A and B are shown apart, each in its own frame.
Chain A
C-alpha cells in the first residue's frame, strides 16, 4: 500500500461541473506534486508545492487550480474541464534536500473521465 492517499479513486464529471481531487500524506514531506498520466503514456508534471507554496506550474490551463492548505494536504480543483482532460491524476510527495535527490512517493491516482 502506498503512503500517499488520493481520493476519489474514480471520478466522472460533466464539462460544466466543479469537483476537487484530494491528496494526503503523513510522512512529513514538505514537497508535493501533481502529475497527469494519459493512457500508455508517462506521467507529466503539472504543479510542485514546496513548503506549502506553489513553486512550479508547468503552464497548466487555469481550469486546473491547485491548493495546498497545509503540509499534509494537496488539492486539485477542477472546473470546466474538456474531454481531453480525461486521465489518471497522480499525487506525489517527497522530502526536500539541497541536492534535490529525494525520491517521490506516489499515490494510486484518481482516474478522471470527462463526459
Chain B
C-alpha cells in the first residue's frame, strides 16, 4: 500500500541549530511531494513542493528539500532554525499522475525550538 513515513515524531533543537527532517514514501510510480507546516492554532501552510526538475527545491522561510528518487526520500532541511519555527511539520504525497487527488500525510514531526 502507498504510505508516507516520517522518522522523527518529536525534535527539540536550540536556535541556530541545523535541521533535517526525514520523509520516505512507498510507491514506484509518479509522485508529487509536499511539505506543510502547521503553527499552533493556525491552518496548514505549504512550505515547498516538488513534482519534476531540479531535485533540490527551495521553499518559504529558508526551508529546502531534496528529492532522492533512488531512496524514495524527500527530506526537509534548514541551515539555522529560529524560535518561530516551532510547529508541526507534515510531509505529504499525491500518489498519482494527474487530476485531483488527495494528499497522503506522514504522521508529522513536532518541532520545538528552544531559545
Contacts and interface: CB of A to CB of B under 8 A. Distances in A.
Chain A interface size, as a band, is 20 to 34
B100 A50 contact: yes
Given A43-B44, A90-B44, A104 B103 contact: yes
A100 B107 contact: no
Interface in A12-40: 30-31, 33, 35, 40
Contact of A56 (B98, B102, B104): B102
Interface string B59-73: 000000000000000
Given A2-B43, A43-B44, A56-B101, A101 B107 contact: no
Interface residues of B, number: 27
Contacts of B97: 99-100
Nearest to A97: B98
A112 to B, nearest CB: 16
Contacts of B98: 97-100
Contacts of A97: 98
Interface in B75-112: 90, 94, 96-108
Given A97-B98, A100-B99, A101-B94, A106 B44 contact: yes
A42 B90 contact: yes
B43 A42 contact: no
Contacts of B100: 30-31, 33, 48-50, 55, 94, 96, 100
B44 A101 contact: no
Given A41-B107, A43-B90, 16 more contacts: A4-B43, A30-B100, A31-B100, A42-B90, A43-B103, A45-B103, A49-B100, A50-B99, A90-B43, A96-B100, A98-B99, A100-B94, A101-B32, A101-B52, A103-B49, A106-B45
3 A-B pairs with least C-beta separation: A45-B102, A31-B100, A42-B105
21 contacts: A4-B43, A33-B102, A42-B90, A42-B105, A42-B108, A48-B100, A55-B99, A56-B102, A90-B43, A92-B44, A98-B99, A99-B51, A99-B52, A100-B30, A100-B96, A100-B100, A100-B101, A103-B34, A104-B103, A105-B46, A109-B43
